[in-house]
Every structure is written in structure tokens, then in C-alpha cells.
Amino acid sequence: MTLTDLRYLVALARERHFGHAAERCNVSQPTLSVAIKKLEEELAVTLFERSAADVKITDIGARIVAQAEKVLLEAGQIKELATAGRDPLSGPLKLGVIYTIGPYLLPHLIPRVHAAAPSMPLLIQENYTARLAESLKRGDLDVIVVALPFEEPGIVTQAVYDEPFRVLLPAGHGWESEERIPASRLAEAPLLLLGAGNCFRDQVLEACPLCRPGEGLQRTLEGSSLETIRHMVATGAGITVLPSTAADALPGGNSLLTVRPFTTPEPFRRVALAWRVTYPRSGAIDVIRAAILDSPLAGVKPVGSPGRLG
Amino acid sequence: MTLTDLRYLVALARERHFGHAAERCNVSQPTLSVAIKKLEEELAVTLFERSAADVKITDIGARIVAQAEKVLLEAGQIKELATAGRDPLSGPLKLGVIYTIGPYLLPHLIPRVHAAAPSMPLLIQENYTARLAESLKRGDLDVIVVALPFEEPGIVTQAVYDEPFRVLLPAGHGWESEERIPASRLAEAPLLLLGAGNCFRDQVLEACPLCRPGEGLQRTLEGSSLETIRHMVATGAGITVLPSTAADALPGGNSLLTVRPFTTPEPFRRVALAWRVTYPRSGAIDVIRAAILDSPLAGVKPVGSPGRLG
DNA sequence: CCCATGTATAGTTAAAGCCTATCGCCATCG
DNA sequence: CGATGGCGATAGGCTTTAACTATACATGGG
């Protein structure tokens, strides 16, 4: 029993004439005749009473035809589902973002994605890089926004923008007079850092090789956020390093805080999109990337498409 | 897209492993692999994300699988319908009976059929032979009970029993002293007959060649019934001829009426079943025939199966 | 009794469905 | 870092099937 057989069956039930039904199905009369016969044999019931005068459907035949129509209807729904789902911009996209990007990117990103792809709602999760990577591989997420380096088997990564780091000082700090701060001097200060697991912490430490967590006056804030650290800096608990998108987007005229760039070469992090190589909705990823680049992110430099990294 | 494809699809969605899904479908892994690929091409959507680690179903894939399951479920219902409908004794049987048999046969027939085939309700229609024949050919009836001769193209007829005719006299009639009445004498009497269209009328006239409707004292009762005629005989309006099943089943001890057989050779009519040659539920017909023969019909002689007439 | 109509059958061909064998990819492990 | 093993994709060949054309067969009507 195939869907074709059922189509023949329904056509014959409608036409009550093998020739006409065959014509309607664009097949020859013997084709339809044989198909119906086979179907009757398979089901071991007589579906039609044939006679020279006309074709009559049996009682059981009528019931089976009704059911066959239901089957064909449901099968047709599959095609419709496929047509509707063919657009990569239709259906929800599960997006993951690391903690140190989410708060500064998402307010810009979300409305832009919604404008570009209204029927693609974003399901957003913020987490550490490692957790996001896991979810991505499991399929709980479709795309993630992370900082490089990020390499996972089966995952492709595409750099989107670089963002420089900034030094955040409490108002009145001695370094306020400096235009730019050399990274090496961070070792001198009480540096507030995020806890382990935040990639940004590692990147700051990498930018300032002399800083060693646990040594000197640096303090690590486990399970905290850049926002918390910023408030601590404002209270004079120390200084910190922020990505430009977090530092430059300070509420205008915050007199308690001062932002200073690093001396060149500025330390920076490269932010990238990542997804499974097998992920089929590349169009959706393009929309995300475009929306990120369209966002007014302070201090960032877009990384051209040639800069795609594997 | 075939039902087989959908089965593969559902299996793969369940197993998330081409090899295992193939095994469950009793096909080789390449077979399933190719089938899924073709399905994806046909629908122009990616249903699964394949990777070395595992197989993930896409969002749209999951929706299509759900729909495919619905299709397969409905298709399975067809088989169940067929199985249920395979029994010829299941489902209603549309039975037609001529007016001059129905009242005497059906009270016996119906309970017997119900006992033999409880799931085969009888839908009964009483009418003239010509009307029954028309309905039978149209398919509005499945089987009819008529008196022979009855020949129609595409219709097979099987004799079931012969029933002799009887003379019905009002009590006190001059012929009451006779044990048997010769058919020829009917011409002498005021003979009450059914109207044209009732085959029994023609059979009586055939049995009594000297009787001519409209001549002598015979009266024709258009649109009437044997019961009405019987009551008229009881009031002395004339005499009549009845089939034995109608005559001998008189309410016991009806002192107003007298029944007399004809002299041999008794005139009789042959009652038969008829159905379309194409009618598939021969088992149902057998039940009807058996139920008729099992009925206590006064005076009838069963016609052996060899007596089947074309 | 032949003809018209309609379905079933025969015979053939093209396609499809399936199998075995093998490739290629990737992740894991010694 | 190369070997290994699991897994899906691909290739080639075979069998089945579904389609066609031509024709036989059945039946009701002129």
C-alpha cells in the first residue's frame, strides 16, 4: 500500500470509472486497474464491484476510501510543513551568549534581528563559554556568541568584531591624568576580576602577564558580573578592566568612574559566532551577524568576512 | 514521498542512528540513508543534522516527523478497517422483499439472521419486483427476495423454495365442502386480485388462464395488500388466491375464512434470492438463504441447491 | 448476433528500491 | 601522531515494481 495507490483509490471512488480515474491520475487505465486490484488483494477486501454498466463502491470500500482521503490529507500537510519550514528565517533560533557580552550586545541585537526576521524569535541563553559550547554541541543551542580562541570539533567559528579592553578607574584615581594606561601597570593596582570560568578573566590576565590571580592585591569575584565589578570600582574597591562595549557604554556623566584606554598595542578580544558545521540554517546566522555589526557597540572594529577562522 | 519513506523517517527520528534505524526497518543502512536524503531533497528541507558524534533532528524535521507519524497512524487504520470489513457477515445488508412475501417471511427471517450474524443488521425494503430490481442494480439493495421468473442482466438468481397457492373462501361458501379446488373453477367466482405491478397477481392469472382481469366478476385492488384482500374475503366480497405462507398462517380458528388447496398439479410460485453477480458478500447471502429455509413457512418445499437458476 | 463500451490481462521497458562493498570523515587512544 | 574504529555517504549491480501499449475478455444494447 503506497500513497500512490491511495490516490488511485480515491480517484476511482470519485469517478466510478477506471478510465476516467486513470486520466485524472495521469496514468493509463491498466495501471489504475492493476493498482486497485493489488490493493484489494493486499487488504483482502473487495473495494469495488465492477460491471460493464458501472463501478460501484462497496460498503467497506467507502469506509476505506474515507480513511484514504484522511491519509492523503495528512500527507499533504507534510509538504506544507516543509514549504513553511524551508525559510531559514522562520522558526525560533536558540542563541547563546557569554555573560560578558550579553548585557551589552543583546539590547541592540534583539530588535535588529526582529526587524530583519520577524518570524524568527530568539531564544536566548547566557552562560560561560564552556557551558554554551556544550549546549551547542548537544543541539540545545543553534548559535553562540563567544570570544576567541574557541575551537571545538564539529563547530565552525566566524569572527565578527574585535573589541579593545579599557581600564576602569574610580573617579579621582591617580591614573586619571594619564591619557592611556600601559597594560603592565595593572600589576600595581588592586585589580578586580571575574571568577574562573569567565573567559574574559583569562583574557585580561593574558593581556597583563604580570598579574597573577591570588597574588598581590587582585581580587577575584566568583560568580559575579562586570556590572557588579563596576559598582565596586565606583566605591573605590579597586580598578578593573572591561571590554569597550561594557566600559564605554557607561551611563552618561557617571562622575564616579573614569575610563581609560590602554596604550597601543591595545589588548582586545575577538568576538565570534559559532555553530555546528551541520547546522542547516546558515541564512539565520547571516542575519545574526549582520545584526551584530549593525549594533552601535562602542569601540569595536568589525572583522571582515575574510577573517573567518576555522 | 512514500509511506515507506515516512517509516524510515520516523524510525530515524526515534533511533537517532542510521544503522539502528535501518535495522529496525529491516533494511540496510545505505537504503535508509539514501531514502532520507531523497526525502530531504524532495521536501527541500534538512530533516537531520548528521555528524560523526550523533544524528540530531532539526526543528522543522521534528515537526515533519510528528506529521509523518500521524500519516502512518491513519494509514494503519486502513488495514484495521480492511480487517474488520473482511467478514462478509459484518456490516449492514440491504435486503429487498416483495410485498406478498415480506409480511410472512420477515418475522421469521429477521431473528434468525440476527442470531446467525449478529453484526449484520438488515436494512429492509418492501416493494414491487420491478422496483426492487431497479434498486438492486443501482446498488441501493444488496439482495432481494422475489418470485420467479426473474431475469435481469448482471443479476444472479437462486431459487429457495416453492410455495403452493391456496384458495381463500369466506366461511359458508359453497366450495367449502370440496377438499381441493381445480384452478379452472376460479373463473366462476368473484376473484379479488392485487393491482398490476404485483407479480403475484400475474402468477394467479397465469395459474388460471380463464380468469381475465376486468372480465366477469374479478375485482382488482390497486395499491392494496393480501391482508386487505383477506379481510374483504372475510366480509364476503369474493374469494381470492393466496400463497400458502399467507393463507396457512391465518390467525388460528378464524371462523370467517376457509382455506382450500388446489387440485394437483397445484399452482405454485418459486421464490428466489437475487443479487448482483459482482456482489462480494456471498457469505451474507448464504446466511439469508439458510435463515429462510430455517423459517417455519407453511406449505413450502425447499428447492435444492442444484435448482439454482441463472 | 454483432457492436460498443469498459475492464482485465500480457508483455515489455524504465525506474525504483535494495543490497554489498567501499570510501571518507572524525574522534579516540596507545 | 599515526592507528583504529564507528558511522554516514557513495558506487555498482541486481531485483522488483510500476508504468506503458496492445489486446483479450465480458457484457449490455441495437
pLDDT of the residue at A223: 67
Q: In this structure, how many other beta carbons lie within 10 angstroms of the beta carbon of residue A18?
A: 21
Please report the beta strands in chain A, taking only residues with DSSP state E, as ranges in sequence order. Answer: 48-50, 55-57, 93-98, 122-127, 143-147, 155-170, 191-194, 219-221, 239-243, 257-261, 268-276, 301-302
CA distance A162 to chain B (A): 31
- B29 CA, D21 C1': Å apart: 38
The predicted model gives B113-126 an average pLDDT of 93
* 8 Å CB contact between B259 and B167: yes
What CATH number was assigned to the domain covering residues A87-310?
3.40.190.290
- The rounded distance, in Å, linking the Cα atoms of B176 and B169 is 7
Could you say which DSSP state residue A181 is in? B
Least confident of A26-35, B20-29, B125-134, B211-220: B211-220
- The rounded distance, in Å, linking the Cα atoms of A87 and A281 is 8
Which residues have Cβ atoms closer than 7 angstroms to strand C? A 17-19, 29-30, 33-34, 36-37, 50, 52, 54-55, 153-154, 277; B 2, 4-5, 26-31, 34-35, 38, 51-53
Kindly report the bases of strand C lying within 7 A of a protein C-beta atom: 4-11, 17-21, 25-28
The per-residue pLDDT of chain B, averaged, comes to 86
Cell of A28: 493509463
A-B contacts (CB, under 8 Å): 120
The per-residue pLDDT of chain A, averaged, comes to 85
Kindly report the bases of strand D lying within 7 A of a protein C-beta atom: 5-12, 18-22, 26-29
Chain A interface includes B92 (CB < 8 A):
yes
DSSP H helix total and E strand total for chain A: 10, 12
Instruction: Give whole-number Cα distances, B183 to A109, B168, B211, B265, in Å.
Output: 107, 12, 10, 9
User: Measured from the CB, is A1 under 7 Å from any atom of strand D?
Assistant: no
Q: In this structure, how many other beta carbons lie within 10 angstroms of the beta carbon of residue A303?
A: 19
The beta-carbon neighbor of B70 closest among A56, A60, A74 is A74
- A188 CA, C13 C1': Å apart: 88
Q: Which chain A residue lies closest to B79 (C-alpha atoms)?
A: A43
Instruction: Give whole-number Cα distances, A308 to A159, A270, A272, A273, B238, in Å.
Output: 5, 11, 9, 10, 113
* CATH number of B3-85, picked from 3.90.1150.10, 3.40.50.300, 1.10.10.10, 3.40.1360.10: 1.10.10.10
All residues of chain A having their beta carbon less than 8 Å from the beta carbon of residue B278 are: 49-51, 56
Residue ranges of chain A assigned to CATH 1.10.10.10: 3-85
Phi, psi angles (nearest 5°) of residue B292? -65, -50
pLDDT of the residue at B309: 41
CA distance A136 to chain B (A): 12
The predicted model gives B262-268 an average pLDDT of 87
pLDDT of the residue at B161: 94
Cell of A243: 571590554
Contacts of B224 (CB under 8 A, 6+ apart): B194, B195
The answer, yes or no, to whether residue A307 has pLDDT greater than 50, is no
pLDDT of the residue at A212: 64
* pLDDT tens track for B63-73: 999 999 989 98
* pLDDT tens track for B128-153: 998 898 888 888 899 999 998 888 88
* pLDDT tens track for A116-169: 999 999 999 999 888 888 888 888 899 999 998 888 878 888 999 999 999 988
pLDDT of the residue at A264: 84
Chain A interface includes B16 (CB < 8 A):
no
Chain A interface includes B108 (CB < 8 A):
no
For an interface test with B, give the residue of A67, A87, A143 to mutate (most B CBs within 10 A): A67
Q: How confident is the model at residue B237 (pLDDT cuts 50, 70, 90)?
A: confident
* pLDDT tens track for A45-70: 999 988 877 888 998 999 999 999 88
Least confident of A19-33, A82-96, B181-195: B181-195
- The rounded distance, in Å, linking the Cα atoms of B277 and B158 is 11
The answer, yes or no, to whether residue A217 has pLDDT greater than 70, is no
pLDDT of the residue at B212: 64
Least confident of A128-132, B124-128, B250-254: B250-254
The answer, yes or no, to whether residue A92 has pLDDT greater than 70, is yes
For an interface test with B, give the residue of A10, A45, A47, A155 to mutate (most B CBs within 10 A): A45
Q: How confident is the model at residue A309 (pLDDT cuts 50, 70, 90)?
A: very low
The beta-carbon neighbor of A51 closest among B51, B71, B278 is B278
pLDDT of the residue at A305: 54
Chain B interface includes A171 (CB < 8 A):
no
Phi, psi angles (nearest 5°) of residue B167? -95, 135
Contacts 24+ apart (CB under 8 A), A213-221: A216/A187, A216/A190, A217/A189, A217/A190, A217/A191, A218/A190, A218/A191, A218/A192, A218/A193, A219/A190, A219/A191, A219/A192, A219/A193, A220/A193, A220/A194, A220/A195, A220/A196, A221/A192, A221/A193, A221/A194, A221/A195
Phi, psi angles (nearest 5°) of residue B166? -130, 155
Full DSSP string of B229-271: HHHHHHTTS-EEEEEHHHHTTSPTT-TTEEEEEBPSSPPEEEE
Chain B interface includes A301 (CB < 8 A):
no
| 3-class secondary structure, A249 | coil
Q: Which residue is nearest to nucleotide C19 (CA to C1')?
A: B28
Fold of the B88-310 domain: D-Maltodextrin-Binding Protein; domain 2 (3.40.190)
pLDDT of the residue at A272: 92
Share of chain B above pLDDT 90, in %: 40
What's at B242, amino acid-wise? Answer: L
pLDDT of the residue at B271: 94
Considering only residues B198 and A31, tell me which one the structure prediction assigns the higher pLDDT.
Answer: A31
User: Measured from the CB, is A264 under 7 Å from any atom of strand D?
Assistant: no
* pLDDT tens track for A240-279: 899 999 887 766 666 788 888 888 888 899 999 999 888 8
Residue ranges of chain B assigned to CATH 3.40.190.290: 88-310
Closest-lying nucleotide for A17 based on CA to C1': C6
- B77 CA, C18 C1': Å apart: 27
The predicted model gives A7-14 an average pLDDT of 92
The beta-carbon neighbor of A1 closest among B3, B50, B58 is B3
Residue ranges of chain A assigned to CATH 3.40.190.290: 87-310
* 8 Å CB contact between A113 and A145: no
